[in-house]
Structure 1
Amino acid sequence: MDRRTYLAAGLAAVTASAGCLTTVFGDDGSASETVLDPPDDRQYDSGELPYPAHGEPLPAFSVPDPLAGEVVDSDAVETTLVVTAFFATCPVECVRLIGQLAGVQHGTVDRNIDDEVTFLAITFDPERDDAETLRNYGQRMNIDMEAGNWRFLRPESADRAKEVVADKLGINFDRIGAGESERLPGYDFRHLSLTFLRNSDGVVERAYRTDQPDHERVLSDVETVVEATS
């Protein structure tokens, strides 16, 4: 199911104080809850965006974790969830993005909420990002793999990566050849940098559209959601 199907739900937010559960109603009368208020700086309602945002369900996906040798079903993850997409050879944007999220992960360990938060980083370059590459990338990016709450996910094929990352999550990317990019030999990607904060009920609390999310702000949002839903 692609993003357009999820947009059809047309969820509308009802305001409440951050840190308290806020009921969000869909057009069909169904209700879900958020902890955080809509972001103060948002320019569009969630339903107008090409990706899931505040008060909308995060589309479910199942993608292999090559380091653990198992498939991760996002719907089966009952913790607060932080989800993003990247590729390991990205020379700029993904380095900043994953670096900031590594800071968030370390913060969850420091604040003793790491058991309540799961990080899923999905590569959209499965051709190059095999298990060894992802393991080395995690070390290079200072991710605490021993904490057990960070998982690298690798779709089975380029087509599957497009289905999950672009079509379901709305994180668009385009592969470009060597002649079109001055940054990388072989091929490169133009891509959106986007990170989701999903509560344990499967509802998006935040969609951070930047390659440099403020790790302290994200950590504060994560902690607020965890405290309200645990």
Structure 2
Amino acid sequence: MERRSVLQAVGAGGAMALAGCLDGVLESGAEGAVLGPPETDLSQSSHPTYGDEIPSFSVPDAFTGEVVTDEQFHGERAMLMTFFFTSCPDGLCPVLLQMLNMASEDATREGYDDDVAFVGITFDPEYDTTERLQEEVDSIGIDPSAENWHILRPEDNDEAYDVVAGDFGTPVHLEHDDHEEHDDGHGDGAESHDDHDGHDDNDHGEHETDRDDHENHDDAQVETAEPTDGTHVYIILLVNENGIVERSYPGATNYSAEEIIDDLRTVVEG
């Protein structure tokens, strides 16, 4: 799928310029979608949004070594997915995984766990070894051996960047603790806990970099022998079994888990 160009980051925190709110729910939904359009139009975002096809991916599972692809879920399972790294400096990445885990627990309780897959992709695989990922999922209570869980680990940081920033349009920027910060004009874009009072139509937690950086991303990719600091888009994507994005939740920790679970249930039932 042809990806959109990234909008220029604006304002403190690198908030993405949005196309604006819809004047009301549109009369008809996107082709192939179960849910109607969201209240906020995110269609000019760089990442996949309502009605888009999910970008193709093929990434190894960190625990089984199995190569997991988007195609294996088509016609079989909906997906709830996110992107993370274990050395996340503000503690929000574990929250993203915890939100997926709460949805997973609901799926088990309500008997639809065979109809949904939960996918987390690390974008710092050179630091996020299998051992560190195991510690992370253990601390959250995720069972990565469950059939519907996939913690994916690209081969290296360059590949991770290509998948997460390139294919999914969710920019990431890592900084090595022992190196000077790369000055790309967005080094202060990290989302803080103070921003999580609720939805903010002008700040969806997106720490955007210019997509032109994708062509010269070596500057943003660093060896990660030590933990990293960085910025990225705190996002969860809900995808139906036909590979259509039903909801994107940028600044996902602004949303309640209950809201995401309700959307997931509706998609699975639809």
TM above 0.5, yes or no, is yes
Q: TM-score, normalised by structure 1?
A: 0.81
CA-to-partner distance for each residue in 1:8-30, whole Å, 9 max, x for gaps?
xxxxx9634xxxxx4x3xxxxxx
Q: What residue number does 1:128 align with?
A: 127
- Cα deviation for residue 210 of structure 1 reads 1.6
Q: What residue number does 2:233 align with?
A: 192
Query: Segments of 4+ in structure 1 off by > 6 A?
Result: none
Residue of structure 1 aligned with 2:266, choices 201, 212, 224: 224
Once residues 158 and 145 of structure 2 are traced to their aligned partners in structure 1, the CA distance between those partners, rounded to angstroms, is: 31
- Cα deviation for residue 171 of structure 1 reads 1.4
- Cα deviation for residue 2 of structure 1 reads 6.3
Cα distance, 1:191–1:33 mapped onto 2, change above 3 Å? same
The farther-off stretch of 52-61 and 92-101 is 92-101
Q: What residue number does 1:159 align with?
A: 158
Once residues 219 and 144 of structure 1 are traced to their aligned partners in structure 2, the CA distance between those partners, rounded to angstroms, is: 19
Q: Secondary structure at 2:4's aligned position in 1?
A: helix
Q: Secondary structure at 1:52's aligned position in 2?
A: coil
Are positions 1:73 and 2:69 aligned together?
yes
Q: Secondary structure at 1:175's aligned position in 2?
A: strand
Once residues 186 and 133 of structure 1 are traced to their aligned partners in structure 2, the CA distance between those partners, rounded to angstroms, is: 11
Q: How does 1:1-230 map to 2 (within 5 A)?
A: 3-4=3-4, 15-16=27-28, 22=29, 24=30, 32-40=31-39, 42=40, 44-46=41-43, 48-77=44-73, 78-91=76-89, 92-145=91-144, 147-178=146-177, 179-180=180-181, 186-212=227-253, 213-228=255-270
User: Sequence identity of aligned pairs in percent?
Assistant: 36
Aligned amino acid, residue 219 of structure 1: I
Cα distance, 1:186–1:148 mapped onto 2, change above 3 Å? closer
Q: Report if aligned partners of 2:96, 2:234 keep a CA contact under 8 Å in 1.
A: yes
Q: Report if aligned partners of 1:62, 1:71 keep a CA contact under 8 Å in 2.
A: yes
Cα distance, 1:186–1:197 mapped onto 2, change above 3 Å? closer
Q: TM-score, normalised by structure 2?
A: 0.70
- Cα deviation for residue 90 of structure 1 reads 1.5
Q: Secondary structure at 1:140's aligned position in 2?
A: helix
Q: Report if aligned partners of 2:81, 2:100 keep a CA contact under 8 Å in 1.
A: no
Q: Report if aligned partners of 1:61, 1:74 keep a CA contact under 8 Å in 2.
A: yes
Q: Secondary structure at 2:37's aligned position in 1?
A: coil
Q: Report if aligned partners of 1:2, 1:168 keep a CA contact under 8 Å in 2.
A: no
Aligned length: 204
Q: What residue number does 1:9 align with?
A: none
Once residues 216 and 148 of structure 1 are traced to their aligned partners in structure 2, the CA distance between those partners, rounded to angstroms, is: 23
Cα distance, 1:52–1:140 mapped onto 2, change above 3 Å? same
Once residues 222 and 71 of structure 1 are traced to their aligned partners in structure 2, the CA distance between those partners, rounded to angstroms, is: 25
- Cα deviation for residue 147 of structure 1 reads 3.7
Q: Report if aligned partners of 2:87, 2:228 keep a CA contact under 8 Å in 1.
A: no
Cα distance, 1:196–1:155 mapped onto 2, change above 3 Å? same
User: What is the alpha-carbon root mean square deviation over aligned residues?
Assistant: 2.3
5+ long unaligned stretches in structure 2: 6-24, 182-186, 191-225
Q: Report if aligned partners of 1:109, 1:147 keep a CA contact under 8 Å in 2.
A: no
Q: Report if aligned partners of 1:114, 1:147 keep a CA contact under 8 Å in 2.
A: no
Aligned amino acid, residue 168 of structure 1: D
- Cα deviation for residue 186 of structure 1 reads 4.6
